[in-house]
Amino acid sequence: PKSELYETHPEWILKLPNRPEHYFRNQLVLDLTNPKVQEFVYNVVDGMLTANPGIAFIKWDCNRMMTNMYSTYLKDKQSHLYIDYVNSLYGVLERLRSKYPDLPIMLCSGGGGRVDYGALKYFTEFWASDNTDPLERIYMQWGYSYFFPAISVCNHVTSWGKQSLKYKGDLYRLISPYKENRAALMYVNQEKTKAVLFSYTLNTPYGETINRVKLQGLDPDKTY
């Protein structure tokens, strides 16, 4: 609220006219249904990239939920607000992607839901969770893999440093962490010339017998 933008354009903020402003992280939400706001947001990002051509990565973080929703621009069409807002955001991203098609951009907390199918074509990867516990990430990424390709999720676990793991290839779920005290999955490229296997030991009770893992997706006539 204490910004030049707000002081110049208070009508660019989403807020109910009959209620006090509601702050979260001391922030308000811009009304992206307004074409002038769309142009402003685009110019901020485009101006930054133009002035700093060496920028190699952007994290687009959405850390503020939408509350006290009312658009001065939409007037009597408030029922359109949520849909028009998202479509307007996509419009800004479309323009940025057209000008910067090769710039890696991560989406974090997209719409409060972390990931968003509609935004997948604009972003290189998603940050799936702030929980970087190695054990819990196994379960998260197992479930994540049912809906999104592995290359779209950015992963690191804090106890192992911040190495970003990226994969390319068909995914085979060999052993589910929900069925055994371990998890196993593997990726195989289309030519079946390379594969990578991940096997995680979770909470193995004393004396439990762990059988062999049967691999999938490989060429039976090749030696790996």
Q: For 159-199, how does the pLDDT look when each residue is reduced to its tens digit (9 = 90+)?
A: 644 444 444 488 899 999 999 999 999 999 889 999 999 99
How buried is 144 (Cβ within 10 angstroms: 0-12 exposed, 13-18 middle, 19+ buried)? buried
Catalytic residues: 61, 130
Which whole-number Å values give the CA distances from 186 to 8, 41, 204, in the listed order? 55, 41, 21
Predicted pLDDT at 169: 80
* DSSP single-letter state for residue 27: B
Q: Put residue 212 in one of left, alpha, beta given phi > 0 → left and psi -120 to 50 → alpha.
A: beta
Low-confidence ranges of the chain (pLDDT < 70): 110-114, 156-168
Q: For 20-42, how does the pLDDT look when each residue is reduced to its tens digit (9 = 90+)?
A: 999 988 899 999 999 999 999 99
Instruction: Identify whether the C-beta of residue 187 lies closer than 8 Å to the C-beta of residue 195.
Output: yes
> What is the bridge-based pairing of β-strands 153-154 and 170-175?
unpaired
Predicted pLDDT at 157: 66
| Residue 200 CA, distance from chain mean position | 24
Predicted pLDDT at 41: 97
Predicted pLDDT at 62: 79
